[in-house]
Every structure is written in structure tokens, then in C-alpha cells.
Amino acid sequence: MYDIFGKYGAIGQIRLGTSRDYRGTGFVVYEDIYDARTAVDNLSGFNVANRYLMVLYYLQAKMSKKFDAEEEEEEIAKLQAKYGVSTKDK
């Protein structure tokens, strides 16, 4: 990972996802935002060991909205089960 991503700038840290939700995911933190932009532009779609990289910016606001939506869906499902309501056509 350092060899591939290090070509585009100084790396602060690299973390690999180990939990089930983040398996196969890595987080590369650059010291400079411009280096991160260059890496995203050049490495997205890059082939490594017969697998293609998907390089994106991590946006905290988007991720927290996604988890909020999932929690809301779970809450709705609980309420539907509690009151015997179904949204499916019969």
C-alpha cells in the first residue's frame, strides 16, 4: 500500500478495515489534501493483483447520514412489527 499510494505524497497513516463491514477496505491518510486529490485522480480504477482499486474521499457527514438512515429504517421496522402494519401489497 505504501508503494502504491506513496508515489503521490507523504502518507500520515494507512489503516486496513478488519471488521466485517470494512473488510477489503483501506484508509490512506495523506498529510496534504492536494496529495490526496492527486491519488484519487490517478489511482481510481488502477489494477492491483487482478483487482481494481476504488479510491474515494472519506466524507464524515455522508457516512453519519448513512448510519442515521439505517437506524431510522430499523426503528420503522420495529414499529411496523409492534403495530402489525405492513407496507407490502397483498
- What does the DSSP 8-state code read for residue 49? T
Q: What is the structure's pLDDT at 22?
A: 79
Q: Distance (Å, rounded) from C-alpha 81 to C-alpha 77? A: 6
90 confidence band (pLDDT: 50, 70, 90): very low
Look at the block and give the residue holding cell 429504517.
Answer: 73
Tens of pLDDT, residues 13-48? 998 888 888 788 888 989 988 998 999 999 988 888
Alpha helices in the chain (DSSP H): 2-5, 33-43, 60-83
Rounded mean pLDDT of 66-88? 75
Separation of CA 36 from chain center: 15
The topology (CATH level 3) of 1-83 is Alpha-Beta Plaits (3.30.70)
Q: Distance (Å, rounded) from C-alpha 81 to C-alpha 68? A: 20
How far apart, in Å, are the Cα atoms of 57 and each of 30, 32, 33, 81? 11, 13, 10, 38
